Amino acid sequence: MAEMYPDESIYNLIPQDEIKAAKMPRYTSRFRGMVKEEMQKNRALNKTMGPAKVDVPSPEKFLQKQSKELKETEKKPFQYEDYDRRKPPIPARTDKPVMGIQTKKNFINSNAVEIMMAVPKKPKPIYVDTKRGDKQLLDTSGLVPKFVHKKDFGETPEYLVRRNEETRRAHEEYEAYVKERLRQGAMKQFSDEERQTVLQGLKKNWEELSQQYQGLSVVIDTVPKKIRKERLENEMKQLEKDIEMIEKHKTIYIANN
């Protein structure tokens, strides 16, 4: 391997031997011999004009007069192979079809009389909803009071009656449970004064935590600062949930330990 020198090196003036890249060995198919043998197998069979050996015709089959003339075959009318399965031909204009049931009734006159004696149909009521005159059916528009004529119009649906009954029963069971627990002394009800006192205390704690949170440094670059910030955020979120719950529920029960 030739050594590489900088462009300014004097060693570059020394002529170096040219290094030729080694070529990869040429690919040789393993079927090469088989193909060559198959190509030369039947190559020398017909070197002459035609086969090497030709059968000599028999002396008994000599050429006779008019033996090469074509003999006329008996002509037969053309007929399709599936003639029995083909459809019948189109009838001619002069053919008169034979009907199974024949009558002397004049259908033209009878149809004209029926039309003249028929009661005219009433037009369907429509309404126009655009200035261009677009017409719509009045029955499907909802403008016709159809549902007021139903038998069950104005009555509460069965599913709503069933749902209201289930709600009322659940409320009664809850009231009975609360009364029983109050009678046993297992829980007590918060009064309005106690509720307002707890609510004011929660709001005061949230304000104190908010002041501490606002007093944090702008850049949080140490682990203790990150921990203190996360702690304050979690405490403030918990206080917000408690305040929302107490403001939402007017009646609060506390279990006695």
The DSSP secondary-structure symbol of 250 reads: S
| Claim to verify: residue 210 and residue 177 sit in the same structural domain | no
Positions of the chain with pLDDT lower than 70, given as ranges? 1-5, 44-54, 99, 257
Task: Supply the Cα-derived Rg of the chain in whole angstroms.
Answer: 56
**pLDDT given at position 113:** 92
For residue 119, being part of any structural domain is answered with no
**pLDDT given at position 15:** 81
**pLDDT given at position 2:** 54
For residue 120, being part of any structural domain is answered with no
- Taking the whole predicted model, whether its pTM rises above 0.75 is answered as no
The encoded tokens of residue 27 equal 């690919």
Decide: helix, strand or coil at residue 70: coil
Answer whether 213's CB lies under 8 Å from 180's CB: no
The DSSP secondary-structure symbol of 84 reads: G
**pLDDT given at position 206:** 93
| Claim to verify: residue 193 and residue 242 sit in the same structural domain | yes
**Count of the separate structural domains present in the chain:** 2
The domain boundary residue, chosen from 142, 165, 185: 185
Answer whether 126's CB lies under 8 Å from 138's CB: yes
For residue 230, being part of any structural domain is answered with yes
The DSSP secondary-structure symbol of 50 reads: S
